[in-house]
Amino acid sequence: MSKSALRVLQIMEHVADQPNGCTHTKLAQGLGIPKSSLTALLNDLQSQGYLQRNAESGIYTIGVQILSLANAYLRNLNLARLGAPIVGELYAAVRMFSVMAIPNETEYVVICTESLPSLFTHSLQVGYRGPLYCSAVGRAILAYLPERRVDEILRASDLTPLTPLTKTDPTAIKAELAEVRKSGISHSKEENIAGITGIASPVFDRTGTPVAAVAIAAPTAQLETAQLPSIGLAVKQAADKLSEQLGWRDQRALAADRDSRIPA
């Protein structure tokens, strides 16, 4: 970690530890940082809302922007807590490695899994990261993001083929996303991991933003074509259940509810 980055973290932690805040002088003394070096860092943190300064007393306290970071962390904790039993139910229904992941820039991050000991329990552990563009969970999320955001993610991604079947052309990837939107189910056949097929469906928050995806992963050789529709339905039902718990009702459900209220 760079010296400046470390100092920023030390400043934030020191201020947070002071119930009544901390002045510029006390910060310099407490952290052993020259006041001249500290000034620029404090100005930057204040301008971005991570610290706030009382003009009369000169005391720094934690800024409102920290709430944004804390809320993001708590949302992920809440997703994992709510999603874990649903992922468990999915595994019980299909007896295949079941997983939930969240987006993080150009990647997905696994936040809960359920399976018997297998290859996946060692390779796709909680915290595992993979690319959005070629994975089932990634495409399930990308399909429901604004097109401009999808373009940004694809431009920022290293579109390197991970297997001989990986699609790396943005046009082809976006065609896949269009197919996902038709059914709400994403497939990735040996594009992310050789020999493995993934089937996923998006999880929405109350605003309709895709915040996660629920999926199964299985050796392609063990998946029969006839199984795919029922597995896809089970995955989508699991994702929809979690979306409902987060406050989301899809537009068809909203329309049906609205129509039911219209007098005959």
Range of the domain at 138: 69-253
Per the prediction, the chain carries an average pLDDT of 85
**Do 75 and 90 fall into the same domain?**
yes
- What pTM does this model have? 0.67
Q: What is the CATH number of the domain that holds 196?
A: 3.30.450.40
The DSSP code for 208 is: S
Whether the pLDDT of residue 258 is over 60: the answer is no
Same domain, 95 and 224: yes
- Picking from 63, 86, 112, the residue at the C-terminal end of a domain is 63
Contact between 43 and 26 under an 8 Å Cβ cutoff? The reply is no
142 with 150: CB under 8 angstroms? yes
Query: Could you give the number of structural domains in the chain?
Result: 2
Domain boundary at 14, 40, 63, which? 63
Is residue 163 assigned to a domain? Answer: yes
Instruction: Answer yes or no: is pLDDT of 250 > 60.
Output: yes
Q: What is the edge-to-edge ordering of all strands in the sheet holding 186-189? A: 129-131, 107-114, 97-104, 210-219, 196-204, 186-189
Task: Please check whether residues 211 and 82 belong to one and the same domain.
Answer: yes
77, 22: one domain: no
| 113 and 178 housed in the same domain | yes
Kindly state whether residue 262 falls inside one of the protein's structural domains. Answer: no
For residues 145 and 239, membership in a common domain is answered with yes
Q: For residues 93 and 235, give the distance between their C-alpha atoms in angstroms, rounded to a whole number.
A: 10
**Residue 122 sits in the same domain as residue 168:** yes
Chain segment 169-193, per-residue pLDDT in tens = 999 999 999 999 999 999 999 999 8
Distance from C-alpha of 136 to C-alpha of 138, rounded to nearest angstrom: 5
Q: Is position 123 within any domain? A: yes
Strands 22-23 and 186-189: unpaired
Residue 260 has what pLDDT?
Answer: 47
- In this structure, the answer to whether residues 58 and 106 fall within a common structural domain is no
For the cut 60, the answer to whether the pLDDT of residue 261 exceeds it is no
Structural domain ending residue among the three candidates 63, 87, 113: 63
Sheet strand arrangement including 59-62: 22-23, 59-62, 51-53
Q: Which residue has the higher pLDDT, 177 or 245?
A: 177
The C-alpha atoms of residue 228 and residue 197 are separated, in whole angstroms, by: 10
Is the CB of residue 216 less than 8 Å from the CB of residue 94? yes
